Structure 1
Amino acid sequence: MTPSQKSLAKGSPAPGPVPKGSIRLYSMRFCPFAERTRLVLSAKGIKHETINVNLKEKPDWFLEKNPLGLVPVLETPEGQIIYESPITCDYLDEVYAGKKLLPSDPLEKAQQRMLLEHYSKVVPFFYKIPVAKRNGEDVTALEGELREKLSKFNEILVKKKTKFFGGDSITMIDYMMWPWFERMETLQLKHCLDQTPDLAKWMERMLEDPAVEETMFSPEVHAVFYKSYVAGTPDYDYGL
């Protein structure tokens, strides 16, 4: 894997072809959606290269690859393009050998995808609450809603009596959920886990996972990026 490079902005030359035997990830180092794909690449040990994109000043060649202008995007040596985080992750799991992250049983796979749909309703709170706080609004009701949603995920772990959401080892759904939990401290939302002990234990176990260790940033680093992002001048290359 080539080390992450500084982000490429508008006016930068388009990267050359993807090397044979590799796959390319277009990413942004602090994007939680792109982190999902980085987690899967790491967990499966897939040979890849990463090209980081300046999402404020997107290069034209990047918009040709994904007109939505979002990361993550995968590009194969044959020039095929895959985007949207769950789709890129499913693709990697299906195409590459090694540890399988999606269950082989169709019902279990469907259950993980339904759980991901439920989780997609949680994600907006990680954005809404900090914005409301910055605007000086009372966030009690919003935090109450987030607590309620997180308690449902806690209940799932209690009922299943497993360490992770798909069983006693990490599967795809855990990686799909993780990036926002990694940012909870930075977003000042960790207190919303006060009444979800099983979810808190899940977080502790996730922190011990090699793929999580390889892809994550410390709360301090997240805080520096987040401050720059809120100020409207995101420092995509912080720490490089």
Structure 2
Amino acid sequence: MGAKFLKKGDPQPPPVEAGKLRLYSMLYCPYAQRARLVLAAKGVPFEMVDINLKNKPEWYSKVHPETKVPALEMGSGEVVVESLDISDYLDRKFPEPPLWSADQDKNLHHKQLLETVGKAFPLYRKFFRAITSQELDEAVSSIAAVIQPLENELSKTGSKFFGGARPGMLDYMIWPWAERIEGLRTMHPDVKLPLQDFPRLLAWGAAMKQDPAVKASLMSGEAHASFIKKIVDGSLDYDKL
């Protein structure tokens, strides 16, 4: 990808100009991608600074006390951290197009779905670290059980997206992991996935890939698989990404 990942010893970027936004990110991080998706959906220009998460710059703790990504810094000096908080902040600050619904009951339901599906995220790690066929099958079954409510929701509403006719906040918040499924499939092409059980989600995924905001950050399954393999075998070198 040719990204420059700032590391220990690299100087801190100059202060953010008034009225501007800077996103501290990491190109392959699904949580940082959430923020990038929302910024793209809103059409908001921003500066992106990629952080080397294995060898973080000394000054980054002043931006984010836990030195995680993402972090959104404004020209006012204000910093918002955590992907969901950043996404909510951007939806309030840049209301068009709205990503949360005007229907608060629907929003509450989508937040509950997001919390439920959040249990699948750690299972991705189990999947790409699995070695035996039994471990892979167990990981697949666990992920399928957790994402079943998403399939049920699309079946119930009959909508193309969780947001309705166009993607909403729930769509963008879960997309990074849907995208990384392609990487897992690339790593384990022989693993049997229960795709027949998720026709609505498959159609949703195909539709999401046509969304301009998704296209702006979309990476191939091969790219994700390569990154994951380097994490697993300990060969990850940010200078060569």
**Structure 2 length normalisation: TM-score?**
0.91
SS at match of 2:47: strand
Distance in 1 (CA, whole Å) between partners of 2:181 and 2:151 is 16
The 10-residue stretch of structure 1 (183-192 or 154-163) with the greater mean CA deviation from structure 2: 183-192
The count of residues paired between Structure 1 and Structure 2 equals 236
- Mapped pair 1:120 → 2:118: yes
SS at match of 1:60: coil
The answer to whether the Cα contact below 8 Å between 2:113 and 2:149 also exists between their aligned partners in 1 is no
State the partner residue of 1:47.
45
Show structure 1 runs of 4+ deviating over 6 A: none
Q: Whose helix fraction is larger, Structure 1's or Structure 2's?
A: 2
Distance in 2 (CA, whole Å) between partners of 1:31 and 1:118 is 20
SS at match of 1:175: helix
Distance in 1 (CA, whole Å) between partners of 2:204 and 2:48 is 29
The answer to whether the Cα contact below 8 Å between 2:182 and 2:220 also exists between their aligned partners in 1 is no
Amino acid at match of 1:108: K
- Mapped pair 1:165 → 2:162: yes
Distance in 1 (CA, whole Å) between partners of 2:27 and 2:160 is 28
Amino acid at match of 2:35: T
State the partner residue of 2:81.
83
User: Residue 233 of structure 1 is aligned with which of 209, 214, 235?
Assistant: 235
Aligned-pair Cα RMSD in Å: 2.0
Question: Aligned pair in 2 of structure 1 residues 138, 221: CA closer, same or farther (>3 Å)?
Answer: closer
**1:2-151 map, 5 Å:** 5-131=3-129, 133-134=130-131, 138-151=135-148
Question: Aligned pair in 2 of structure 1 residues 126, 190: CA closer, same or farther (>3 Å)?
Answer: farther
- Mapped pair 1:183 → 2:180: yes
Amino acid at match of 1:19: E
- Compute the displacement of 1:238 (Å): 5.1
Amino acid at match of 1:103: S
User: Residue 193 of structure 1 is aligned with which of 178, 192, 195?
Assistant: 195
- Compute the displacement of 1:50 (Å): 0.2
Distance in 1 (CA, whole Å) between partners of 2:120 and 2:194 is 12
SS at match of 1:51: strand
The 10-residue stretch of structure 1 (183-192 or 144-153) with the greater mean CA deviation from structure 2: 183-192
- Compute the displacement of 1:13 (Å): 0.7
State the partner residue of 2:188.
none
Structure 1: 5+ residue stretches without partners: none
The answer to whether the Cα contact below 8 Å between 2:99 and 2:163 also exists between their aligned partners in 1 is no
- Compute the displacement of 1:69 (Å): 1.7
SS at match of 2:23: strand
